[in-house]
Amino acid sequence: MAHSLKIFCCFFFFFLFSTLSIIPLSHQLEQHPLDSLTPNEFIRVQAIVNQSHPSTINDITFQYIGLNEPDKQALISWLQNHRPTPITAPPPRQAFVIARINHQTHELVVDLSYDNIVSDHIHHGFGYPLFTFQEQNRASQLVFNHAPFLAALNKRGLKVEEVICETFALGWFGETKQNGRVVKVMCYYLDGTVNLYMRPIEAITVTVDLEAMKITHFRDRLVVPVPKAAGTDYIESEQKAPFGPELKGITVVQPDGPSFIIDGSRVRWANWDFHLTLDARVGPIVSLASIYDTEKQEFRRVMYRGFVSELFVPYMDLTEEWYYRTFFDAGEYGYGLCAVPLEPLRDCPANAVYMGAFVAAQNGMPIEMPNVFCIFERNAGDVMWRHTETMIPPDLITEVRPDMSLVVRMVSTVGNYDYINDWEFKQIGSIKVTVGLTGLLEVRGSKYTHKDQIDEEVYGTLLAENTLGAYHDHFISYHLDLDVDGESNSFVKSKLETVKVTDQTSPRKSYWKVVSETAKTESDAKIKLGPDSA
Amino acid sequence: MAHSLKIFCCFFFFFLFSTLSIIPLSHQLEQHPLDSLTPNEFIRVQAIVNQSHPSTINDITFQYIGLNEPDKQALISWLQNHRPTPITAPPPRQAFVIARINHQTHELVVDLSYDNIVSDHIHHGFGYPLFTFQEQNRASQLVFNHAPFLAALNKRGLKVEEVICETFALGWFGETKQNGRVVKVMCYYLDGTVNLYMRPIEAITVTVDLEAMKITHFRDRLVVPVPKAAGTDYIESEQKAPFGPELKGITVVQPDGPSFIIDGSRVRWANWDFHLTLDARVGPIVSLASIYDTEKQEFRRVMYRGFVSELFVPYMDLTEEWYYRTFFDAGEYGYGLCAVPLEPLRDCPANAVYMGAFVAAQNGMPIEMPNVFCIFERNAGDVMWRHTETMIPPDLITEVRPDMSLVVRMVSTVGNYDYINDWEFKQIGSIKVTVGLTGLLEVRGSKYTHKDQIDEEVYGTLLAENTLGAYHDHFISYHLDLDVDGESNSFVKSKLETVKVTDQTSPRKSYWKVVSETAKTESDAKIKLGPDSA
C-alpha cells in the first residue's frame, strides 16, 4: 500500500483494566504539585462531586478526571523557593472533572486541600467530553437486540456470535445545530480469525444516541461481500510453516543495573531530570525537563511541559458509512485511556523498568493501568560523536563517544491502530519525540476482487480480494512549552537564501546566505515543509 | 550553529595503513565475480602494468585500482546457471586501473585470467583521477621549505613545528582551459590542542602543481588572528572535571553468537543474502541483495548494486582562500580510501564482527585496511509490529514483534569530517541507508570576537572568538540499481491530490485521492521535497 501510506487507524474500546477500590498512598513521601491524582484523590474527588450531585437523584457519569494543572508562575515560584527547604506553600492541589450530570456537561474544579468544589460550570458550546469505555461498550451491544440488524446479518449469512461491533465518533461538518451525543456503530466478523478489522460488515449504518442509549437510525444499504478470513490471522502461535531462519538470542545487559533513578514521578538520568505522568486524554506528560550544567553546577530548564495534544485521523472516503470518519483519538477516545499494558521483553527491552498509573472509570473510581510506561536506556550501536585524526604524527587519534539515550515509552491502542509514543532524552541535550504507527490497517469491504475491475473512485487501494486499504491521514500535534533557560524564549526561523554573484570579483556565480527572523506570533513560527532549506 | 547546519567537512590525508607485501589467498575457496581484488591480484595488476610501462623509463603512479565490474547480463546469466553446479564460465575477471604515466591519465583494463592489458586509453577530457595519499602528503610538506611561507608564520609569531598543512582540491568554475593537476595547501596550528581544525591560519594562499610537485603561487593577503587553543581539545583523557554523572555499563549479549554468516564477501542474515566489498573511490558496495521467500522457497533479488556515488561539499564563501572549496569527497579524495579502522565497543557494539579490505597504494601494491567494516545485529528496543486486541472477550490479545536489523558500517574520515556510513537490512524487507555526519566543524579564522561587531558578509556564524562556522552543504548521492524481483522495475510516483466536493451529495467539502504516474526517464523520477505529500 505504498501510496496510501499515512496508514489508517480506527477506534474502539473495551474495559481494559480491572477496577480497584482503595489503594494506600504509595512510597512517595512528598507529593509534587504536578503528580497525577493518587487513587485516594480520585476517590475523594468522586465523593465530593457525588455529595453535591447525589447519584440517587441525579444521572451522573464521570467522563474525565485529572489533575487541574497548577498555575505556571505559582509553580515556578514555589520550585525556586523549594530547595533545600520549602519556604512557600505549594500551589493549591486541585482536580479537573468533566461529568455528565442529567444530560448536561459539567466542568468542575475540585480542591483537594479543602475538599470542596471551587467551580461548577455547565458547558453549552460545541464539543463533547471524552467517551467512556462503558458507554461505548453498551452502545456497541445495542445492535444485538435490534431486529433489523439481526435480519441484515441473516441476509448476509453471518453468524451473530462471530460479530464484534465498535462505536465511531461522528465528526463535525459545519452543522449549526448540535445533535447531542451520538455515535455510529459498525461491525466486523471473526469466524476463523482474530483479525476482525480485515472483515468489515459494510453498508450498514447504525446510529446510537448515547444519552438515551438507544438506536435512533438504522439502514442496510446494500450487501457487500465480507473479505475472507484465510491468511488474516496474526497470532504467532497460529502461523504455519514454512518459516524463515530463526534468529539467535540477543539481549541488553546492565550488570550494575540501570543508570536512571525513578523517584515517584520524577526521573533522573545522565544530566537529565524530568517529571512523568499519565493523563487520560493526552497520555504521557513530560514536565520540568532540565539538564544539569556541570560548569555552572546547576539544573537548567529546557521544557516546562510537553505532551501529544491531539491525534487527528480523517478518512478520505465519501461513501455513506465512511464520510464522517474524522477522529480525534485524544479528545474523543483518550490517548491515555487507550494505553495498553506493555509486554516485557517485546514492547520494551530486557533492561526496561515499568511504571503504572491510574485513570478514572465512568463511576469516578480509580482504574489501575499496570505497565503503562516503560523506561530504558538505549544503546542502539550508534555513535554520538567521533573523530579519527590522521594528521598528527606519529599516532592515530581515535576518539569515539557511543550514543546512549533514555527512552520513555507508552503504547496506546485506539481500535485497530497501535501508537508507540516515545520520549527520548539524549546526552547531547536534545529531546526526540516519536510516534510509531502500527497495528492493523483500516480496510473497507468491497465487491472488487481485482484492481482491473475498478472504474470508479473507491477511496483506497485494493489490497486483497474484497479488501480496500482506506486512504487517510494521521496528524499528530504536540503541546511543547519550551523554557530553554527560563521563559523568555524566541523561535528563530533561519532560511537559506541564494545570492547571485553579478560582479567579476569572484569566479563563483552564487552562494547561499542565512536569513533569520524571530517569530512574533505562533502563526509566524509555522514552517511549511518545502523545497527551501530551513 | 542551528542555522548553518549542513555541517562542514574538509579533507586531507595521511598514510593511514601499513603496506603489506604478499598475502596468501584467503580461506575463500571459490572466488565470486564481484569480489574485490585480492592482494595477489593487486600485485599481478601492478606487475602487468609495470611490464608494459616500465617504471625505469616511465614516471608512473597508480591513482586507482579496483575491480572492473563484470557485465550485468553476463553475471546474472552466470548466477542463474551457477547453482547447484556451475555450467557456464564466470564473466572475465578484470581490474580497472587509473594511472598517471608520464603526466598523462591512462585508463587501463587488465585481464586477470590472461594476465594482459585489454585496453589502455589516455583520458584527454575534463576531470582528474583520485589523489593519492602520498602526493597529498608531499604537496602539503612543500611549504616547510618555502621561505615566504616561513616568513608568513614568523610575521604571525607562530612556531613552525606546531603547523600542520593539508591539500585542497580546486573545484571547477567554468574554465575552458585545463590547469593541470593543481591543489591549494592550507595550514593549521596545534600548540596546545590536537584540534587543529579550530585553529586555521587564514589568508595565505599556496598553490601546488602536483605533477611538478612545486609551489607555483604564494600570497599572504593579511594577518587574521589564529583562534585560541583553550577549550578546543577533544581527547577524553585530557578533559578536566567537573563531569556529569557517569553511566553504568550497558552491553549487547548474544550467548549463542551472531545470527549472520560471513562467507568471504557474502553475508547472510535472517532472510537476507548480499555481497559486500570495499572500493577505494565509493566505499562499501552492496551487491545482489536478495531476500528469501519462505512460501516460494527461493531467493528473490531486491538490489543488484548500491553504493554512495558521490559526496559533494560546496562551501558558501567568496573570500579568496575559500571560494574554490567545492569538494567531491568520493571522486577527489576516495570515500573508501579515507575509511578508518573501526574502534571495537565504541564505533560498533560488543556483538559486532569486523572485516578488513585492501586498496592499492600509489605504487600499486596492496594496503590492508583492517576493521574497515563492522557487521552487527541491532536490537534498539524498537517494535517492528504490534497489536493489542481488546475487543475479543475474554482474553486480551497482545502480539508484539520486536524490531531486529543487521547493520553494515564503515566510517570514512575525510579531513575534519567523519562520515558514518550504514547499510541496514530490516526483517520487514527494507534496506535503510544512512550517512551520519560527525567529526569537527570546518571553521574560518576571523578578526571578530563578538557577533555585534559584524557588519559585513562573513559567510558563517561566529561560534567563538575569532572562529566562524563556515556555511556549506553535504550532498550525498547514491547509485541504487534496484532489481525488485528481476530487472523490469518501474518507479511509480504517487501524489495526493485534493478533490473539492461541489455537489450536495456529501457533507464533506473535500478529500484527497492518489494520482500515480510511472517515470519513463530518470529525470521523470525526480522528487522535489515539498509541501505536497508524495
| B18-43 pLDDT, tens digit each | 333 333 334 445 789 999 999 999 99
pLDDT at position B305 is 97
Check residue B321 and report its DSSP letter: T
Residues in A 4-43 with any Cβ partner in B closer than 8 A: 4, 6, 12-14, 16
Per the document, the length of chain B is 534
Helix, strand counts (H, E) of chain A:
4, 28
- % of chain B beyond a pLDDT of 90: 80
- How many CB atoms within 10 Å of residue B179? 11
Query: A61 - beta bridge partners?
Result: A100
CA distance A397 to A382: 20
DSSP B468-479: EEEPB--EEEEE
Locate the chain A residue with the closest alpha carbon to B497: A316
Give residue-wise pLDDT tens across range B81-133: 766 666 678 899 999 999 999 999 999 999 999 999 999 999 998 889 999 99
Query: What is d(CA A198, CA A41) in angstroms, rounded to the nearest whole number?
Result: 42
Q: Count of A–B CB contacts within 8 Å?
A: 298
The answer, yes or no, to whether residue B485 has pLDDT greater than 50, is yes
Please tell me the distance from the alpha carbon of residue A278 to that of residue A342, in angstroms, as a whole number.
Answer: 14
Give B255's contacts in chain A (Cβ within 8 Å).
249
Q: Which residues contact A307 (CB under 8 A, 6 or more apart)?
A: A279, A282, A283, A284, A285, A286, A478, A479
Binning chain A into helix, strand and coil, the percentages to the nearest 5 are 10, 40, 50
Which tens digit of pLDDT belongs to each residue from B388-400? 999 998 889 999 9
- Window 159-188 of A, Cβ < 8 Å to B: 164, 166, 173-174
DSSP states along B504-518: SS-S-SEEEEEEEEE
* Segment (H or E) for A107: strand A104-111
CA distance A273 to A267: 6
Helix (H) or strand (E) holding B306: strand B298-314
Percent with pLDDT over 70 in chain A: 92
- Shortest Cα distance from B48 to chain A (angstroms)? 32
Averaged pLDDT, B493-521 = 91
Exposed/middle/buried for A418, CB within 10 Å: 0-12, 13-18, 19+?
A: buried
- Evaluate whether B411 touches A358 at the Cβ level (below 8 Å): no
| Residue contact A386–B346, C-beta within 8 A | yes
* Cα(A392)–Cα(B188) distance, integer angstroms: 11
From the candidates A389, A424, A441, which should be mutated to test the interface with B, based on the most B CB atoms within 10 A? Answer: A389
The DSSP secondary-structure symbol of A449 reads S
Averaged confidence pLDDT in chain B: 91
The DSSP element (H or E) to which A39 belongs, if any, is helix A39-52
Question: What is the model's pLDDT at position A533?
Answer: 58
In Å, what is the CA distance from A258 to each residue of A299, A350, B276?
Answer: 21, 11, 37
Please tell me the least confidently modeled range out of A414-428, A508-522, B39-53.
A508-522
* CB pair distance less than 8 Å for A529 and B530: yes
B224 phi-psi bin (left φ>0, alpha ψ -120 to 50, beta other): beta
| Euclidean distance between CA atoms A167 and B445, whole angstroms | 66
Q: Is the pLDDT of residue A2 over 70?
A: no
CB contact at 8 A, B412 and B336 = yes
Pick A13's closest partner by Cβ from B236, B390, B514.
B390
Please name the residue that has the C-alpha cell 451473530.
Answer: A160
Alpha-carbon span A445 to B314, nearest angstrom? 53
Q: How far apart are CA A168 and CA A324, in angstroms?
A: 9
Residue among B34, B49, B38 at smallest CA distance from B368: B38
Predicted confidence band at B11 (pLDDT cuts at 50, 70, 90)?
Answer: very low
**What is the nearest CA distance from B406 to chain A, expressed in angstroms?**
11
Name the 3-class secondary structure at A139.
helix
Burial label for A393, CB within 10 Å (0-12, 13-18, 19+), is: exposed
DSSP state of A507: S
Instruction: With beta carbons under 8 A apart, name residues in chain B contacting A463.
Output: none
**Does B457 sit within 8 Å of A343, measured CB to CB?**
no
* % of chain A surpassing 90 pLDDT: 80
Residue B37 CB contacts under 8 Å (≥ 6 apart), including other chains: B45, B65, B66, B67, B95, B358, B366
Which SS3 state, helix, strand or coil, does residue B149 take? helix
Residues 468-497 of B with CB under 8 A from A: 471, 492, 494
Are A514 and B4 in contact (CB < 8 Å)? yes
Interface test with B, best of A400, A404, A425, A517 (most B CBs within 10 A): A400
Angle among Cα A510, B170, B143 to the nearest 5 degrees reads: 135
Contact B243 A294 (CB under 8 A): yes
Q: Taking 80 as the threshold, does the pLDDT of residue A228 lie above it? A: yes
CA distance A293 to A267: 17
* Largest pairwise CA distance in chain A: 90
Q: What is the phi/psi pair of residue A44, to 5°? A: -65, -40
pLDDT tens for residues B181-221? Answer: 999 999 999 999 999 999 999 999 999 999 999 999 999 99
Provide the pLDDT confidence category of residue A486 given band limits of 50, 70 and 90: confident
Does the beta-carbon distance from A346 to B401 stay under 8 Å? yes
Residue B368 has φ and ψ, to the nearest 5°, of: -80, 140
B239 in contact with A at a CB cutoff of 8 Å? no
Distances (CA, A) of A7 to A60, A316, B296: 38, 12, 28
Closest in A16, A297, A511 to B316, CB measured: A511
The 8-class DSSP code of residue B114 comes to T
A406-430 confidence digits (pLDDT tens):
999 999 999 999 999 999 999 999 9
Inter-chain CB proximity A271 and B243 less than 8 Å = no
- Please name the amino acid found at residue A398: T
Single-letter residue type at B275: H
- Candidates A85, A105, A89, A86; CA nearest to A97 is A105
Please state, in angstroms and rounded to a whole number, the distance separating the CA atoms of residues B256 and A87.
58
C-alpha dihedral sign at A336, A340, A344, A347: negative
pLDDT for position A24:
38
With bands split at pLDDT 50, 70 and 90, how would you rate the model's confidence at A84?
A: low
| Residue indicated by cell numbers 560582479 | A503
All three cell numbers of A42, joined, read 480520585
Report the sign of the C-alpha dihedral through residues A103, A109, A115, A117, in that order.
negative
- CB of A154 within 8 A of CB of A123? no
Query: Over 70: is that where the pLDDT of B1 sits?
Result: no
Read off the pLDDT of each residue in B313-325 and give the average, rounded to a whole number.
96
Positions of A annotated as catalytic residues are 329, 417
Nearest CA of chain A to the CA of B132: how many Å? Answer: 15
Identify whether the C-beta of residue B338 lies closer than 8 Å to the C-beta of residue B182: no
Other CB atoms within 10 A of residue B308 CB: 25
Q: What is the pLDDT of residues B357-382, one digit of tens each?
A: 999 999 999 999 999 999 999 999 99
What are the pLDDT digits (tens) for B54-69?
Answer: 989 999 999 999 999 9
pLDDT-derived band at B529, boundaries 50, 70, 90: low
A-facing residues of B in 343-402 (CB < 8 A) are: 343, 345-349, 351-352, 376-383, 385-393, 396-402
pLDDT of residue B525: 80
What are residue A438's DSSP bridge partners?
A418
- Structure-derived torsion over alpha carbons of residues A73, A76, A78, A84, reported in degrees to the nearest 10: -170
- Indicate the average pLDDT of chain A: 91
**Which residues of B are annotated as catalytic?**
329, 417
Determine which helix (DSSP H) or strand (DSSP E) holds A78, and give its type and residue range: helix A72-82
pLDDT, residue B94, reads: 98
CB A244 within 8 A of CB B292: yes
Q: Inform me whether the C-beta atom of residue B248 falls under 8 Å from chain A C-beta atoms.
A: yes
- Quote the CA–CA distance of B524 and B123 in Å, as a whole number: 32
CB contact under 8 A, B252 and A257: no
3-state secondary structure of A196: helix
8 Å CB contact of B383 and A436: yes
Q: CA of B391 to nearest chain A CA: how many angstroms apart?
A: 6
For the question of an ipTM over 0.90, the answer is: yes
Q: Which letter does DSSP use for residue B346 in this model?
A: T
Cβ contact B391–A166 (<8 Å): yes
Q: Please tell me which residue, A402 or B531, carries the higher pLDDT value.
A: A402
Q: Is the CB of A318 less than 8 angstroms away from the CB of B511?
A: yes
Q: What would the grid cell of residue A527 be? A: 514552517
Of A166, A341, A440, the CB nearest to B387: A440
Please give the residue that has the higher pLDDT: either B492 or A89.
B492
Q: What pLDDT, on the 0 to 100 scale, is given for residue B4?
A: 31
Residue B486's alpha-carbon distances to A3, B293, B421, in angstroms, are: 22, 14, 27
Which H, E and C letters describe A140-188, residue by residue?
Answer: HHHHHHCHHHHHHHHHHCCCHHHEEEEEECCCCCCCCCCCCCEEEEEEE
Q: Which domains does chain B have, with CATH numbers?
A: 39-122 (3.10.450.40), 133-238 (3.10.450.40), 260-446+465-487 (2.70.98.20), 490-533 (no CATH)
Asked if A34 and A153 touch (Cβ cutoff 8 Å), the reply is: no
Residues from chain A contacting residue B247 (CB–CB below 8 Å):
259, 270, 377, 404
pLDDT of A161 > 50? The answer is: yes
CB B26 within 8 A of CB B38: yes
Helix, strand, or coil (residue B356)? strand
- Three-state secondary structure readout of A200-261: ECCCEEEEEECCCCEEEEEEECCCCCCCCCCCCCCCHHHCCCCCCCCCCCCEEECCCCCCCE
Read off the pLDDT band of B302 (50, 70, 90). very high
Report the alpha-carbon distance of residue A429 to residue A485 in Å, rounded: 13
User: Does B275 lie at the interface with A, CB-CB under 8 angstroms?
Assistant: no
CB contacts of A392 in chain B (<8 Å) are 164, 190, 194, 196
